[in-house]
Amino acid sequence: MHRTDILILLIMAVCAAAMLLVLHLTRAGRILHERIPDRPRRRLFLASLSFFITFLAVRLLVAAITHHIGPFGWVMVHGRHIHHLVWGILLLLVTGYLMLAEFGNGPTPMSLLVSRLIAIGFGMGAALTLDEFALWLDLNANAYWTRQGRVSIDAVVLFGALLAVGAWGAPLWTRRAREANR
């Protein structure tokens, strides 16, 4: 395993742990508990947060690699560059399987933790995959920083907005609709 692989995994684990610690140990976490219902809204919120953090971290990491800043390098296996969308697809497959197998759907504290980890993993996988959305369409590795690569940013903004609206928008609109009907 290349040191960049290890660094990415370590960053993802630290971010997941930090989000869960904030959710449980801080005043911000208590406010989230009061304002956002656990299922599915809080999972959508965690997926949205991990999505944007992962996207930002990956963009910064790729910029560091392309500008030769730090000890980072491309992930290579037998001379082949493994794009980060591969890791994103694998993470989406794992989290999708866990959701289909109904992991994290019980009422126990361990089940709640698992459901939150799945949500965080889903957000990370979606960010890793959509960051290279331009490659889906063009299969040109050089499209990342070009005008054609702009479509990746568009895909990230649209999907991130969908996650954010799911976490924040629906409660806002349903509350307003109830108030209007009174």
Place of tokens 């993802």: 12
50 close to 92: Cβ distance less than 8 angstroms: no
- What was the pLDDT predicted at 106? 87
- How many Å apart are CA 175 and CA 80, to the nearest integer? 52
- How many Å apart are CA 2 and CA 5, to the nearest integer? 5
Provide DSSP, 25-94: HSHHHHHHHHHS-IIIIIHHHHHHHHHHHHHHHHHHHHHHHHTT-TT----EETTEE--HHHHHHHHHHH
- What was the pLDDT predicted at 83? 81
For the chain, list residues with pLDDT below 50: none
List the chain domain ranges: 3-181
107 DSSP 8-state letter: S
Residue 82: phi and psi, rounded to 5, are -95, 110
- What was the pLDDT predicted at 124? 92
What CA–CA distances, in Å, run from 177 to 36, 171, 174? 18, 10, 5
- What was the pLDDT predicted at 118? 93
- How many Å apart are CA 40 and CA 129, to the nearest integer? 23
Query: Percent helix, strand, coil in the chain (nearest 5)?
Result: 80, 0, 20
Residue 171 in tokens = 């409660």
For residue 46, which of 115, 110, 109, 130 has the smallest C-alpha distance?
A: 115
